């Protein structure tokens, strides 16, 4: 590429040739393989060297200024390099101090030593940077740099997952650890929290052992785990009128067969029936009569007394044993303190295990501990000198859920069997 002055200006709308805007012209040449250069047009020159029209224009501009060495300045201009700005150590320390100002959380269900720390589940990267800009509005730190400091300087810091259906005692102990002023009170709260975690680990180990034993060849026990999902409201719409409209409540009771690794979803809506011990007992009855092939059953469930420790569930257990359908049924409750409601004269809300056995149909066994060293206590459930070996029909349960003071008592309702949809 060569630049030369114009030898003969073209005629235009000017009297003096010096008034012409075009002072120079550009020649494009390429070597012909010997020593000479051959003049070509601009399109040929661009095609040979793979240049765009914009880049060729830039080269012309630099050549006219007399610059013989061309440097690629793309991305090196100050206005184009804002995201690669070099920050000082003071600005980096400012970001670090801001991140360190947020309280840490430890894993609730882990007692092993771990270097991982967790921020509140209500926080995220955008929330952290927004809080930083509110606290330091004059700082030039960008969000990208803030996130890079978070990743590089705090690789073990994560955001905790949102917690649902947590234990109220564990929440109380966690709060006590956080707000305790006295070291002695904090130490006591931490000890109690670790003790609850140990008990939870013990229950998980026992449940795992039951599952392994049921999956062994020739196993004579079936292990179930039962839990009720959070109430589902339909339809799910976002417009403002839905805030003032009543939605249909749907209930889903999951009964998981740990032996075969299959789950059975028992789903119904409030138009069919409500939610109480009678409905849970009917779902349990349905699964027990259609899916159990062994003579022993172990059922793991949570400690919600209103649903899982009702007298209807207890009558279903006694019914299966008295009917000679099963030899033994054991219900094991996770030791969680929320939902303490006394539902029967037996006080079963505080029990950890309840067992009904065919060897002695007139009594049930119960105890408040998972330890094998603690013996079972017994309680008579049938009247003396009365034969219960051949009940004639499914028992009728008194449905009193939803009964309020001053209203008429609802009549006794038969056990309603709800259809369950099987999911793998």
Q: Evaluate if residue 422 carries a pLDDT over 60.
A: no
pLDDT > 70: percent of the chain: 67
> How many helices (DSSP H) and strands (DSSP E) are in the chain?
10, 17
Please give the CATH number for the structural domain made up of 220-380: 3.30.420
Q: What is the CB neighbour count within 10 angstroms for residue 373? A: 5
What confidence tier does 96 reach under pLDDT thresholds 50, 70, 90? very high
- As a whole number, mean pLDDT of residues 33-44 equals 84
Picking from 67, 63, 81, the residue whose alpha carbon sits closest to that of residue 27 is 63
Beta strand pairing call for 396-397 and 117-119: unpaired
Beta strand pairing call for 248-257 and 117-119: unpaired
Residue 218 falls in which region: left (phi positive, over 0), alpha (psi -120 to 50) or beta: left
**Measured distance CA(391)–CA(398) in Å, rounded:** 18
Three-state DSSP at 40 gives strand
Q: Evaluate if residue 98 carries a pLDDT over 90.
A: yes
Provide the residue count of the chain: 424
- As a whole number, mean pLDDT of residues 353-381 equals 62
Q: What is the pLDDT of residue 338?
A: 36
Q: What is the pLDDT of residue 349?
A: 37
Q: Is 147 exposed, middle or buried (0-12, 13-18, 19+ CB in 10 A)?
A: middle
Query: pLDDT digit string (tens) for 245-301?
Result: 778 888 888 888 888 888 888 888 888 888 888 888 888 888 888 888 888 888 888
Query: pLDDT digit string (tens) for 123-159?
Result: 889 999 999 999 999 988 999 999 999 999 998 888 8
**Measured distance CA(402)–CA(405) in Å, rounded:** 10
Q: Report the b/e string of 110-130 with b at 16+ CB within 10 A.
A: eeeeeeeebbeeeeeeeebbe
Q: Evaluate if residue 377 carries a pLDDT over 90.
A: no
**Cβ atoms of 132 and 94 closer than 8 Å:** no
Picking from 298, 247, 251, the residue whose alpha carbon sits closest to that of residue 276 is 251
Q: What is the pLDDT of residue 395?
A: 43
Q: Global pTM?
A: 0.48
Query: pLDDT digit string (tens) for 308-321?
Result: 778 888 888 888 88
Domain borders along the chain are 2-65, 89-159, 168-197, 220-380
Q: What is the pLDDT of residue 401?
A: 41
**Measured distance CA(300)–CA(214) in Å, rounded:** 14
Q: Evaluate if residue 402 carries a pLDDT over 70.
A: no
């Amino acid at each position: 590429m060569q630049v030369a002055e114009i030898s003969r200006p073209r005629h235009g709308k000017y009297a003096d040739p010096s008034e012409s805007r075009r002072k120079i012209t550009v020649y494009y040449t390429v070597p012909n393989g010997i020593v000479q250069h051959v003049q070509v047009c601009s399109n040929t020159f661009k095609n040979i060297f793979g240049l765009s029209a914009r880049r060729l224009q830039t080269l012309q501009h630099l050549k006219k200024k007399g610059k013989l060495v061309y440097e690629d300045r793309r991305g090196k201009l100050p206005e184009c390099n804002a995201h690669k700005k070099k920050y000082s150590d003071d600005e980096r320390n400012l970001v670090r101090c801001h991140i360190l100002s947020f309280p840490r959380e430890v894993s609730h269900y882990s007692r092993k030593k771990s270097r991982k720390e967790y921020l509140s589940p209500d926080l995220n990267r955008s929330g952290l940077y927004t809080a930083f800009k509110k606290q330091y509005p004059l700082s030039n730190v960008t969000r990208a740099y803030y996130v890079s400091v978070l990743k590089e300087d705090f690789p073990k810091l994560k955001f905790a997952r949102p917690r649902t259906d947590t234990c109220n005692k564990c929440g109380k102990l966690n709060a006590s650890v956080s707000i305790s002023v006295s070291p002695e009170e904090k130490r006591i709260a931490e000890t109690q929290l670790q003790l609850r975690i140990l008990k939870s680990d013990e229950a998980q180990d026992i449940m795992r052992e039951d599952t392994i034993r049921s999956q062994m060849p020739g196993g004579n026990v079936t292990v179930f785990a039962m839990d009720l999902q959070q109430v589902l409201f339909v339809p799910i719409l976002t417009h403002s009128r839905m805030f003032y409209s009543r939605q249909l409540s749907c209930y889903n009771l999951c009964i998981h067969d740990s032996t075969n690794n299959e789950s059975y979803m028992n789903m119904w809506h409030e138009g069919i029936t409500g939610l109480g011990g009678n409905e849970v007992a009917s779902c349990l009855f349905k699964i027990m009569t259609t899916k159990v092939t062994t003579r022993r059953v172990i059922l793991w469930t949570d400690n919600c007394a209103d649903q899982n420790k009702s007298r209807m569930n207890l009558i279903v257990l006694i019914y299966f044993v008295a009917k000679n359908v099963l030899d033994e049924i054991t219900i094991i409750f996770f030791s969680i303190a929320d939902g303490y409601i006394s539902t029967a004269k037996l006080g079963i809300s505080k029990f950890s295990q309840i067992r009904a056995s065919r060897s002695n149909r007139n009594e049930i066994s119960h105890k408040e501990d998972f330890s094998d060293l603690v013996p079972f206590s017994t309680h008579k459930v049938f009247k003396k000198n009365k034969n219960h070996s051949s009940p004639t029909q499914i028992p009728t349960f008194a449905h009193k859920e939803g009964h309020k003071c001053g209203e008429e008592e609802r009549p006794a309702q038969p056990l309603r069997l709800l259809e369950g949809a099987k999911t793998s």
